[in-house]
Structure 1
């Protein structure tokens, strides 16, 4: 489903981003202007490279930090929290997920060897669980683009220079696309686009799947969990969980 958004709605979105980027800009300036030696972390490396590479301007650096924080923390942690909540509500899914990863361990010559790429590619059901979790709780509320010219879709015209917000969840949660769309059912699978599409697909799409699959592998093979307090799922507009989900983890004994 596609909506045309007027400039005033885009203004509210941009203002929220400006508050965060202003804070990050001040932090970056303070770090780069400090004569002290820091931890040699990402921001230190960015400060060093900004003096060597012409394309690494201060503006670019701020957006790089902003994108990195969202891609590597906010989105991953939200998806994992939702996955824990769904698995707790659907023990049959957790059972099959665990069986798939136990089989990976049994097929190894050395059970303690690290996870391999071939093992990751064999995680058919795990990837279906990840896909179904993303379908129900796609972290990004929409994909923003701008119309370079008048665009006519199904009798509606989106004027030139309007912002376009593609809302994937309007399709993923539609009964026309999925039977019982609010039901968590990893045994079904359809092609979808949780990471965008085309030339501007998220660069971290495959990384995110690998990260989630690896985390689930370690979780189901080494730990068991008990939910102390369930999550209250909401959108505002990013996926959120109220005061969080409280889980007790215990290491499995062999």
Structure 2
């Protein structure tokens, strides 16, 4: 008798719990959607790989079924997903009042619980100003010649190799440059390979959060631990042997840590270093790889880009001088190419916030404490805003000026958390693109590299763009330039 009673009680309790899971309490009308399975929600579907440039299937299918605003559950957390430009804009404008930055526990575990994305108020503003000291426009004006020199040297180095996998090579170049500016790190003079730890970290970044040996997520966490240990050792070494003059961001951080009543802690400083190293090279290298691929597929874009760069060289008083800040800011079509590349790249699949109180919007209620995921890919590929949204068309940006985010463009975030490294990313993209003066012949892409700031190089480096299984590979050949010689088609071995 008692067994039947307790069995019935347990069944009723489980049924009630499942019902409450699928139908959360709300002081109004929730957006339509499904909360998925108990405990895990729709996490498995969300993390399913997407091998196209289109809107992820998880988002696209639910937009079609529920509309631009819908609810789901990810890693045990109720989430409202927004593909609605008006709601996205409202969220960014009301940050700090109705919304605050938030990311799932698995993300904070990966990036650190004191990472800049998880901090708010005075602490966030303080860190933002610190980063602007490194990546702000004034600092970039001074850094631009170094960026130009680094890209030129690295391209020359690549030309002596039989082939180069562009994404990997570009990521290495940017990491080396950023690590030098941040912590004066030099791989050749170090006993440990810092970037290898970041590679392990990145490979498991967007994976199901299962922390057991053998899983990508476990390797991701291990990569972070090793990288953080290296950064902590470097910080301790710098403390033990301080420099007389500030030469990198680490020196600046140490000065801040030593100030009286500083709000900066060592944990926050190390998490900041980790995030800056990751954000500066991984996202930029992906955008650059896609830019090269897009340019190889669109000769008219390439022609227009080349004309813009040649016009700048023609107007220089000294043809051998490096790029000036004025020239950099005048490259309107180049920035159109960059905007179009990052629009299609959709490097950031989601931007997370949390509702601080019940929010009423377009007849729906977003309950206090719920997470909101702004979905940039759905905005950037919206056919109502972008004609033929999957087409690479830099001319669609003609006449537009973007100094921040808008309702229909948020590749660099939005609101008070607009990416402070945007200008740094654009400068890297511009330098890489400008250093490749290409002519396209049938299916082969040849690059006539100019290594001398406008002066014609004595040696022409030819290389072909190959695409194997979503990897962009460059295959090189070279020949000495002779008077009257024409550039012939070159087909390397497959």
Q: For this structure pair, what is the TM-score category when the shorter chain's length is used for normalisation?
A: 0.7 to 0.9
1:29 paired residue number: 232
Asked whether the 8 Å contact 1:144–1:166 carries over to 2, the reply is: yes
1:52 paired residue number: 258
Find 1:98's aligned residue among 302, 306, 311. 306
2:376 paired residue number: 168
Comparing 144-153 and 122-131, the one that deviates more: 144-153
SS at match of 2:383: coil
1:8 paired residue number: 76
Structure 1 unaligned spans of 5+: 234-243
Find 1:212's aligned residue among 424, 429, 438. 429
SS at match of 1:188: helix
TM alignment of 1:1-254, pairs within 5 A: 6=73, 8=76, 10-18=104-112, 19=221, 21-34=224-237, 45=251, 48-49=254-255, 51-53=257-259, 54-189=262-397, 192-220=409-437, 222=450, 226-230=463-467, 232=469, 244-248=471-475
Instruction: Tell me: CA distance 1:199–1:3, structure 2 relative to 1, closer, same or farther (3 Å).
Output: farther
Asked whether the 8 Å contact 2:292–2:433 carries over to 1, the reply is: no
Distance 1:69 1:63 in 2: 10
Comparing 191-200 and 130-139, the one that deviates more: 191-200
Give per-residue Cα distances to partners, 1:15-54, cap 9 Å, x unaligned: 4435255334322333344598699985863774465143
Count how many residue pairs are aligned between Structure 1 and Structure 2. 244
Asked whether the 8 Å contact 2:356–2:368 carries over to 1, the reply is: yes
Give per-residue Cα distances to partners, 1:121-165, cap 9 Å, x unaligned: 221111110000011013222212111111222222221112211
Instruction: Tell me: CA distance 1:231–1:73, structure 2 relative to 1, closer, same or farther (3 Å).
Output: farther
2:57 paired residue number: none
SS at match of 2:372: strand
Give the Å deviation of 1:102: 0.8
Asked whether the 8 Å contact 1:5–1:162 carries over to 2, the reply is: no
Give the Å deviation of 1:202: 0.8
Give the Å deviation of 1:73: 0.7
Larger-gyration structure (1/2): 2
1:238 paired residue number: none
Instruction: Tell me: CA distance 1:133–1:154, structure 2 relative to 1, closer, same or farther (3 Å).
Output: same
Distance 2:71 2:462 in 1: 44
Give per-residue Cα distances to partners, 1:194-214, cap 9 Å, x unaligned: 111221111112222223223
TM-score normalised over the length of structure 2: 0.44
